[in-house]
Structure 1
Amino acid sequence: MTRAGNPGSGSDWPEVLCAPVSNLPSHSRLRIALSGGMDSVLLLHIAARLYADAGWLSAVHVNHQLQTNAVHTEGFCRQLCERLGVPLDVRRVSVEGSGNAGRDAGGGIEEAARNARYRVFEQILTPGELLLMAHHGDDQAETVLFRLLRGTGVAGLGGMPSLRPLGNGLLYRPLLDFSREELQVWAMEKGIDWVDDPSNTDQRFDRNFLRQSIIPVLKTRWPSLVSRMAYTARACREHDELAGKLAELRFRQCANDQGALDVDALVELGTTEQKNLLHWWIRHHHHKPPTISNWPQVLADLLSAQPDREPELRGAGFAIRRYQRHLYLVPEQAPLPSGKPVLVPGQRQLWGQWRLTLTAAGNGETPAPEIRISTRAGGERLRPTPNGPSKSLKNWLQEKNIPPWERSRLPLLVEVTDGKEEVVGAGDLWLSGKYSGQAPASGWRIDVERECN
C-alpha cells in the first residue's frame, strides 16, 4: 500500500478536479471502476464527496486473480468503500492464458485481463447506468503511442473516447484532461492511500515498457508530451467522425432496402471511399474490421469477380459475401439443432434464429398433425399456390433470390402422414393454406417468427 500522508477532511477538493466529475452525462445510477490504484481511488474519493448521499453511487472491483497481492487489493477496496459509505460489487474472474508470463506481443495476458474486465462491466451495467473510469492523460498518450507502434488507422490514433456505450449503459472517463503527475500531487496532498500493482514494473509487457522506459525519456525532450498527444488524439477522432459521416452518406446511396450494398454503386467510388464504407458498415454491425495489408486487392476480388463466383471477406464473427451484384454482411451463426424435431402443440420450438409454434385453430377436435423441422437435403418440392403445379424447392428459392447461405439454414416444415412427407412451409417465405390464414384447412396453425440480426 502507498500512503500519501495525513488524510484530509474531504471538504476542500480543488474545483478544477471536481468539475468534470460534477458535470456528468445524464444517468440514473453511477458506478466507479475501482482497481485500488492511485487514479481510481482518487476518483472514488471525489465521487463519494459529491454523490455518496444521493443513494445511487456504487463501485465495482474486478479481481483478475493474477497478482500476488490480489487478495490484499480486494480487501483494501472493501475497507475503503466501507469507510466512504459506498456499496462495492466485487467480481472475480479467470483470465485465459494467465500461465503465460511472457512478453505481451499481440495482446497476451494484459489484453486478456482487459477483455475479462470489460466483459464484467458489460454484464453488470443496466440502462441508464454510467460507469466512471479513471484513465488520465498519460494513459491516453500511452494508448496512442502503443497503437501507433503496433500499427493502426485514424480511429486507433483517436485513443480512448471520453464517452462511449458499454453494454446497456455508458462508460465515461472524466480525468482524461489531467496528467498522472497532477493527480498524484492532489492524492498526496489529501493523504489518500492506494495499492500499487506489482505487474506495472514488469517491462516484458509492451505497455509497461512504454510507461517505464520510453515515455519518461520523451517527456524530458518534450515536456508537453501528454498535451501534444491529447491534441493528436482529438484531431484523429474528429477525422474519424467525419469519415463516419461520409460513409453513412455513401451507405444511403449504395444500400438496398435489406441493407445490402449494390456492387454497381460501389464501383463508382474510389478505393479509399470503398474501404471507408466497409469499415463503417462492419463497425455499425458491432464487429471489428479485420486487419488487411492489401485492401485494394480484397476490394477488387469482392467487386470484380465473375457472376458465377461467390467471393467473401471473413472477419471475427462475420463475413461479407457477394450475391447477385450485392454485398451482404452475414453474422456468424450458431450450429443448427441436430435431427428433425417434431412440433409439439402449444410449445415454441427454437431453430437457429427462428421460432416456430403449432397451435389449434379450430374446436380442438382434429388430431394434431406430425410436423417435422428439417433443412434442405436435395430433391424437395413444394406447391406454392393451391391447386397449382409443384416446384423444385431449389429453383423456387433461386426465383425468390434467396442467398445460398440462407437457403442452407431455412427451416422446412414437413408434414408426415402415413409415412409420406409433404413440404408445407419454408421459413417465413411461404406456408401452405392448410396451416395459415384465418381458418386453416387442417384446423391447426403454424406461426413462424424470425429474429432480426
Structure 2
Amino acid sequence: MPLPLGSDSAALYARLDHLAAERAPRIWVGLSGGVDSSVLAVLAARRWPQKTHLVHVNHHLQSPADEWAQHCRQLAEHLAVPIVVKDVAVSAKGGPEGAARDARYEAFCACLAEGDLLLLAHHADDQIETLFYRLLRGTGVDGLSGMPEWRALGVGQLWRPWLAEPRARVIAAAQELKLTWIEDPSNDQIDADRNFLRQRVLPLLEQRWPHYRTTVERARQNLAQTAQREHQYWRRALTECLDDGALNIASLASWSEADQLSLLRAWLLDLKPSQQQLLTVWREVVGAAADAQPQVQLGATSVRRYQQKLYRVTDAALMPEAPLPLSLGSVLRHPGVGEVALIPPEPNVLGLPLSAEIASRGDLSIRFRLGGERFKPAGRSGSRDLKRLMQEWRVPPWRRDQLPLFYVGERLAAVGCTEARSGWYADEFLSAPIEPAGILCYRIVPS
C-alpha cells in the first residue's frame, strides 16, 4: 500500500490533475533518478497506474551511469510500471550540456506514439535558472519567456506540471515519500555555467532579495505576454508574404531589415532558430544573388532559395524504385512517400482529379522519377523530357523526385504536384474538361 501523502506531496499530486493527461493514451515520465524526477515518477504512477511509463536516458558520460540506469529500473519495478532505458551517444560537437540535451530529447521523441504525453519534473527554480542563463547569453524576448509548461514534442506533447512549484517543496515531498535518489556529483562542479548560477549566483541574490523568485517570475510572465503578442502580430503579417507556404522574397523586401528578421523568425518559429542562425539565413539565403540557390541547414530542415522564394525543405527518405499499385478506395503508405489515397470525389479536397477511365482501371500505380521519362502534357504538340518540363513548371529541384507519377499500365498519365495546383495530365488522358470519378490525394514528405 502506498504511503499517505503529506502536505507537500499532496500539493504536487494535485498539479497532475489535467484533462489532457486523462485523455493521453500513455503517460511517460522522464526519469533521471534524481530527486525531482523520482518524485514525479512516484506520483504519476499513483495517479495513472495503468498508463504510466518511465524513460531513462543513459548518456554514458559518467562512470556510475549504468548504476543509475539500474536504480531507475528498480524504482520502476517497485512502482509496477514499465520502463524504457535509452542508451545514447552524445555528440562531440558543441557544448556537452547542449549535446546531451539534444540526445535526450531525441530519445524521448522515439518513445512517444501519437497523442502520448511526456512529463518532466522542471520546477520554479529550474525556470529561474534558465532565465538567468539565457539572459547572460544575450537571448531575445522568446528565450526570456522561459520554458513553456506545454509544447509539442514529436507526435506527442511535453508537459511540465511543476513549473510554479519551488524545489524546496519537491525535496520536502521526497522526504514525505521516504524516497532514495541519485545525487549526480557533476552538479557540484561550478565550471559548468548552470551549476555556477545554481551554486554561487542565485544563493547570493537570495541573501540580498529573499523574494527574488516572485519578482523574477513576474518579469518572466510579462516577457512571455510580450512574446505572445509579437508572435500574433508577425504571424498575421507573414500571410502577406507567403505563396503556397514559400516565403516571397519580393514581399519580404518591402519591409525594413529589422522587420524582415521578425518575419523570418515567425516563418521558422517551430524550428526555434538562434539569433545567429536567423542572421545566417537572412544574409546567405535572402541576401544571395537572384540566380543563386543557397541553403542553410537548421537541424533536419534546410532553408533554400529558388525563383525568388524561400522554401523549408525537410530531409526526405529515398523514393521507392518499384511501382506502387493503387486502386479506388485504397490508401498507400510508404516511408519515402508519406500517404497516397485514391478516393471518390469530395468537395474542397486538394488532389489530382481522375477521369472514370483512369479511376476504374486495375493497373494503376504510383512511381517516382528515375530519369529519362517523357511526358506530353495536355494541349502540347509533342512530348518532352520530364526533367525539362519540371524546370518549365518551376518545380524546385529538390521536389522533382518527390512528385508522384501516375501510371496506367506503362503509360505516364499524370504528374502530381505538391503545390496548390492539382498537377498535369498527359494529352491522351485529358482531351476535354474532366468530370472526376476519383481524386488522387497525396502527402509527400513535408517541406
Displacement after TM superposition at 1:145 (Å): 1.9
The answer to whether the 8 Å contact 2:30/2:37 transfers is yes
Query: Alignment identity in percent?
Result: 34
Matched residue type, 1:19: A
Structure-2 separation of matches of 1:138 and 1:280: 29
Matched residue type, 1:432: A
Distance 1:75 1:251, change over 3 A: same
- Residue deviations 1:182-205 (CA, integer Å, cap 9, x gap): 322343355332221222223343
Q: Normalising by structure 2, report the TM-score.
A: 0.74
Residue of structure 2 aligned with 1:22, choices 8, 11, 17: 17
- Residue deviations 1:388-438 (CA, integer Å, cap 9, x gap): 2345656643442323443476688999x9xxxx9876565445366889x
SS in 1 for 2:16: helix
Residue of structure 2 aligned with 1:78, choices 54, 73, 78: 73
Equivalence for 2:352: none
Displacement after TM superposition at 1:63 (Å): 3.2
Q: How does 1:197-212 map to 2 (within 5 A)?
A: 197-212=184-199
Distance 1:436 1:36, change over 3 A: farther
What RMSD in Å do the two structures reach over aligned CA positions? 4.4
Residue of structure 2 aligned with 1:88, choices 74, 77, 82: 82
Structure-1 separation of matches of 2:127 and 2:171: 16
Structure-2 separation of matches of 1:216 and 1:327: 47
Structure-1 separation of matches of 2:336 and 2:162: 44
Is 2:133 aligned against 1:140?
Answer: no
The answer to whether the 8 Å contact 1:374/1:413 transfers is no
- Residue deviations 1:228-273 (CA, integer Å, cap 9, x gap): 33333323322222222112101222212x1122333322323333
Equivalence for 2:276: 292
Structure-1 separation of matches of 2:128 and 2:402: 47
Structure-2 separation of matches of 1:24 and 1:344: 42
Structure-1 separation of matches of 2:214 and 2:124: 7
Equivalence for 2:208: 221
Matched residue type, 2:223: C
Structure-1 separation of matches of 2:95 and 2:398: 33
Is 2:41 aligned against 1:41?
Answer: no
The answer to whether the 8 Å contact 1:162/1:176 transfers is yes
Structure-2 separation of matches of 1:184 and 1:227: 19
Structure-1 separation of matches of 2:140 and 2:289: 31
- Residue deviations 1:43-102 (CA, integer Å, cap 9, x gap): 2343344x25x533343333334333334333433333444x4403131313224xx7xx
- Residue deviations 1:348-367 (CA, integer Å, cap 9, x gap): 8979548999xx99999xxx
Distance 1:288 1:122, change over 3 A: same
Q: How does 1:311-330 map to 2 (within 5 A)?
A: 312-330=295-313
Displacement after TM superposition at 1:342 (Å): 6.1
Deviates more, 1:244-253 or 1:216-225: 216-225
Matched residue type, 1:107: G
Is 2:263 aligned against 1:277?
Answer: yes
Deviates more, 1:30-39 or 1:347-356: 347-356
* Structure 2 unaligned spans of 5+: 342-357, 418-422, 432-439
Distance 1:328 1:189, change over 3 A: closer
Equivalence for 1:331: 314
Equivalence for 1:66: 61
* Structure 1 unaligned spans of 5+: 1-6, 438-446
Distance 1:205 1:301, change over 3 A: closer
- Residue deviations 1:78-133 (CA, integer Å, cap 9, x gap): 333444x4403131313224xx7xxxx9421x333322322232122233433221
The answer to whether the 8 Å contact 1:255/1:261 transfers is yes
Displacement after TM superposition at 1:277 (Å): 1.8
The answer to whether the 8 Å contact 2:261/2:278 transfers is no
Equivalence for 1:3: none
The answer to whether the 8 Å contact 2:6/2:176 transfers is no
Tell me the matched-pair count.
Answer: 414
SS in 2 for 1:261: strand
The answer to whether the 8 Å contact 2:27/2:119 transfers is yes
Residue of structure 1 aligned with 2:102, choices 103, 115, 137: 115
Structure-1 separation of matches of 2:247 and 2:258: 16
Equivalence for 1:255: 242
Equivalence for 2:354: none
Is 2:382 aligned against 1:389?
Answer: yes
Equivalence for 2:4: 10
Structure-2 separation of matches of 1:356 and 1:185: 54
Distance 1:431 1:94, change over 3 A: same
SS in 2 for 1:292: helix
Structure-2 separation of matches of 1:362 and 1:25: 44
Structure 1 or 2, whichever has the larger Rg, is: 1
The answer to whether the 8 Å contact 2:55/2:86 transfers is no
The answer to whether the 8 Å contact 1:290/1:316 transfers is no
Structure-2 separation of matches of 1:356 and 1:18: 45
Structure-1 separation of matches of 2:428 and 2:384: 18
Distance 1:435 1:224, change over 3 A: same
- Residue deviations 1:155-214 (CA, integer Å, cap 9, x gap): 222221111122222221122122223322343355332221222223343322322233
